[in-house]
């Protein structure tokens, strides 16, 4: 083999290594890109706060870039029919509004409403902040979506698993909202005309 052919062979081999390296680096960043595109802005904002900045408390209202007054959280594998029933959606609304479905242990659905209308639906990746176990006093409001960030073990990559637990003040406030609604419903029922047999 001539010196010229060896140099050409070395150049081609070097180019292949460079192209392969660039492709591997691009793929390594695709996970975050994929999660952002398939997830959404709220989950990404959560990730930036708790993973990148190390925040220990979260006021979700400050991370949501749109108007909302209710937040519903639905765990992994929650059937679409159950989600729509909880939200009071008709089958037609359900098909057009709830277009994402959790198919993995690592994701859950977040549904934001404003004045009873769906404002935003997002698949949330639990690595960006795990809301499980999901609070039962739903919906959450901008005033009650206050969370404390706790560490609960490690991920398979050795990073801390971060859980979002409602702050005590939010639990009391949300329970009061649920209780007030319940008391109002009871009062309305007791003052309604009683229909006999």
pLDDT digits (tens, 9 = 90+) for 29-85: 445 555 545 668 999 999 999 999 999 999 999 999 999 999 999 999 999 999 999
pTM, two decimals, is 0.70
| DSSP assignment letter at 130 | B
Residue 176 has pLDDT above 80, yes or no: no
> From CA 58, how far away is CA 64, in angstroms rounded?
11
> From CA 136, how far away is CA 80, in angstroms rounded?
18
């Amino acid at each position: 083999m001539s010196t010229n052919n060896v140099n050409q062979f070395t150049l081609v081999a070097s180019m292949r290594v460079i192209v392969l390296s660039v492709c591997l680096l691009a793929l390594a960043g695709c996970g975050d890109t994929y999660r952002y595109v398939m997830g959404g802005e709220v989950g990404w904002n959560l990730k930036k706060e708790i993973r990148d900045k190390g925040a220990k408390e979260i006021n979700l209202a400050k991370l949501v870039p749109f108007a909302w007054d209710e937040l519903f959280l639905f765990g992994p594998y929650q059937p679409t029919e159950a989600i729509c029933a909880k939200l009071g959606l008709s089958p037609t609304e359900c098909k057009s509004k709830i277009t994402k479905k959790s198919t993995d242990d690592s994701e859950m659905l977040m549904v934001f409403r404003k004045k009873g209308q769906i404002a935003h639906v997002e698949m949330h990746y639990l690595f960006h902040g795990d809301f499980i176990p999901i609070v039962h006093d739903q919906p959450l409001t901008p005033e009650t979506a206050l969370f404390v960030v706790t560490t609960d073990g490690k991920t398979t990559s050795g990073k801390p698993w971060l859980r979002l637990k409602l702050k005590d003040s939010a639990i009391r406030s949300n329970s009061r909202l649920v209780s007030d609604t319940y008391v109002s419903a009871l009062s309305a029922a007791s003052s309604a005309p009683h229909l006999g047999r």
